[in-house]
Structure 1
Amino acid sequence: MRPPSGQQLTISSTVGGVRLRATVTEVAAGLRELVLGDVDLVEPFREDASPAKGQGIVLAPWGGRVRDGRWTLDGAPQQLALTEPARGNASHGLLRYASYRVLEHGDASVLLQATIHPQPGFPFLLDTFVRYEVDESGLTVTHEAVNAGPTRAPWACGAHPYLALGATPASALTLTVPAASALLTDERLLPVRTVAVDDADAPAGADLRAGRRVSELDLDLGLADVAHVDGIAVSTLLDDAGRGVRLWQDEAFGYAVVFTPRDFPGVDGVHQAVAVEPMSAPADALNSGDGLVWLEPGETWTGRWGIAPVGLV
């Protein structure tokens, strides 16, 4: 039987003499697993299953949601398919269920490509690329978009990894994210205004700069003003001994989403999980313009993020 997420592409290297293995899927260029020795660094899903709650997928050419699937291009209304009908939104871009082509596959890296063709609500031609690479430092993911059409095109990108430290429960893990602002949302999870994470109006748990116990969090929250130091912003998920994972994102990813569902269907049963999603733009960027990049014909955009083990080797 063929896997629901398509071809399974395994790459591996070593970190401190311990094998680091990643499996990438043909569908959505998703990260199905990242394992150091026998310790999962992201929430995995089985080869015979589909990813749950956006697990590991690439979000392009927008992340989050577009209100009513509508936006305006040079005065002309555009209507995207409503892929989140319960909330009336176009959600998570156009490649969530797309098959990528494998351009290169070596022992330690894999390069995938998908083309976004002109379609209702998005009349542009974009070539997109995702490279996964593992080495002594961990996993590096490089996203690239090239405007292959004759007119300028909007672009935003994100990823949806759920961080993990093996089977360590949420009650024993602390999450740190260096973001100074939170995006307040309405009942449809669409942003309405931005506040400081320590503002009285900010959601409980929005200020993650000093770390919060994951089990205390109930978030599906966009974050802005992510602090980059020497071009890199670092979030961590650590146990009380300081072991865990770090997720880094370069300056192309100026936003993040933190999602802490308590009903996550893990391979060993339902539990609380934590996604830290690097984003180049917030939700509804096609309408707000925040973080949105406009690529001229032939222009290329590149962004990188990655995951590294902490204290495990």
Structure 2
Amino acid sequence: MNVSTPGESHPPVTVQPWGNAPDGQPLFLYTLAGAGGLRAALTNFGAILVSLHAPDRAGVPADVVLGHDRAEPYFDPATSPYFGATIGRYGNRIRGGRFTLDGQVHQLALNNGPNALHGGPTGFHARVWEGRILGGPVPAVEFSYLSADGEEGYPGNVAARVTYTLTQDALVIDYAASTDAPTVLNLTNHTYWNLAGGERDVLDHELTLHADQITAVDETLIPTGELRPVAGTPLDFRTGRRIGERVNDEDEQLRFAGGYDHNFVLRGSGLRTVGELFDPTSGRVLTVQTTEPGVQFYSGNFLDGSIAGKGGQVYGHRWAACLETQHFPDSPGHPDFPNVVLRPGETFTSRTVYRCSVRA
């Protein structure tokens, strides 16, 4: 289906069947073609970003996100460790899978050692969303999902919505959510970025993060509560530095995570530029803007060559960088962290922009 008509100025959005979910629900692949040469593909399974084609400095496009050509590998965590997925209700980790809200204890599934991770085994990433093509001057698709009270142990019926918009030079992700009972919420996107087109690891990518601190973690990657300065450590990305430059340094934080897998405390508030990823070989630049207070930088430490992705490409160790804009991990256990409680009558909103450009 093509939703543009002759004479319209905006590029088309197309949608095609993409098989069925494990429970039989129909899946669809939505393709957004931007006027500036970007092209994105999305599916209503997990509200996943399946692909994003962006040109290099010579104008040659390549897919800069990891994932699969078919829907089925996304169903299995062994072949899709959250590739491109919308994460909820709570992105990142919660200690012991347990939190207390208004005096009531809520127990979640433990799916990451002793902790809860990314909303549980069947979190938002594993649900079938309702897709809707939006009209307007630029291509956009909205996904909506109603998470029932008690789903994965979380209280309240939560109506969640994520909208992907493809502008001339950026993929814009807008989140919104409301609830009928007090709950906790932390939404993010788990795209694995590889600006080299997925053909090699990202150790030569240069990363800049506008963050002076991290939320230091223990050996299970749960925040200790300390906001630790990055100055003088391998986690200092305040000026552009190769990901591989210090990833193997002898450092307790790196040892706990097997590399980078840390929440960086971002400077400022409101929608602002918080970081940049640059591949010197292709010239591609990914600039990240967000309204969120943190970003989880993950260096693909658990990728080990066991997953064959698009075109049969094997995804080896540190084959991608995730930049998951978010509230902080385990915030329900740290009252001094930015608030993640959502109450009836409130609407959670958040925006993240992944802007694509090139550098000579």
- Give TM class, smaller chain: 0.7 to 0.9
Residue of structure 2 in register with 1:140 after alignment: 172
Residue of structure 1 in register with 2:275 after alignment: 235
8 Å Cα contact 1:66-1:90 kept in structure 2? yes
Q: Residues 68-108 of structure 1, C-alpha deviation per residue, up to 9 Å, x if partnerless?
A: 11111222221112233xx1221102312111111335681
For the residues of structure 2 that align with 1:3 and 1:130, how far apart are their CA atoms?
A: 21
1:280-299 alignment runs, 5 A limit:
281-289=327-335, 290-299=337-346
2:19 equivalent to 1:2:
yes
| Deviation (angstroms), 1:229 | 7.8
Residue of structure 1 in register with 2:182 after alignment: 152
| Deviation (angstroms), 1:248 | 2.2
Q: Which has the higher strand share?
A: 1
2:196 equivalent to 1:196:
no
2:274 equivalent to 1:244:
no
Q: Residues 157-200 of structure 1, C-alpha deviation per residue, up to 9 Å, x if partnerless?
A: 2221222212364243211111111122112111112201115x
Q: Secondary structure at the match of 1:68?
A: helix
What is the aligned-residue RMSD (CA, Å)? Answer: 2.5
Residue of structure 2 in register with 1:111 after alignment: 142
Residue of structure 1 in register with 2:62 after alignment: 39
- Alpha carbons of 1:171 and 1:73: their partners in 2 closer, same or farther (altered >3 Å)? closer
One-letter amino acid of the structure 2 residue matched with residue 42 of structure 1: V
For the residues of structure 1 that align with 2:288 and 2:314, how far apart are their CA atoms?
A: 28
8 Å Cα contact 1:162-1:275 kept in structure 2? yes
The partner residue of 1:58 within 86, 89, 109 is 86
| Structure 2 residue runs without a partner (length 5+) | 1-17, 56-60, 248-258
1:53-202 alignment runs, 5 A limit:
53-84=81-112, 87-93=113-119, 94-104=123-133, 108-119=139-150, 121-147=153-179, 149=180, 151-165=181-195, 166=197, 167=199, 169-192=201-224, 193-198=226-231, 202=233
| Structure 1 residue runs without a partner (length 5+) | none
The normalised TM-score by structure 1 is 0.86
Residue of structure 1 in register with 2:9 after alignment: none
Runs of 4+ in 1 over 4 A off after TM superposition: none
For the residues of structure 1 that align with 2:294 and 2:300, how far apart are their CA atoms?
A: 20
One-letter amino acid of the structure 2 residue matched with residue 77 of structure 1: V
Q: Residues 200-238 of structure 1, C-alpha deviation per residue, up to 9 Å, x if partnerless?
A: xx5xx21111122122332111111x1248731232111
For the residues of structure 1 that align with 2:146 and 2:348, how far apart are their CA atoms?
A: 15
8 Å Cα contact 1:174-1:212 kept in structure 2? yes
8 Å Cα contact 1:34-1:44 kept in structure 2? no
**Identity across matched positions, percent:** 24
- Alpha carbons of 1:27 and 1:83: their partners in 2 closer, same or farther (altered >3 Å)? farther
Residue of structure 2 in register with 1:220 after alignment: 261
For the residues of structure 1 that align with 2:102 and 2:269, how far apart are their CA atoms?
A: 37
Q: Secondary structure at the match of 2:244?
A: helix
| Deviation (angstroms), 1:245 | 2.8
| Deviation (angstroms), 1:278 | 0.6
The normalised TM-score by structure 2 is 0.76
Q: Secondary structure at the match of 1:63?
A: coil
- Alpha carbons of 1:242 and 1:36: their partners in 2 closer, same or farther (altered >3 Å)? closer
| Structure with greater Cα Rg | 2
8 Å Cα contact 1:27-1:97 kept in structure 2? yes
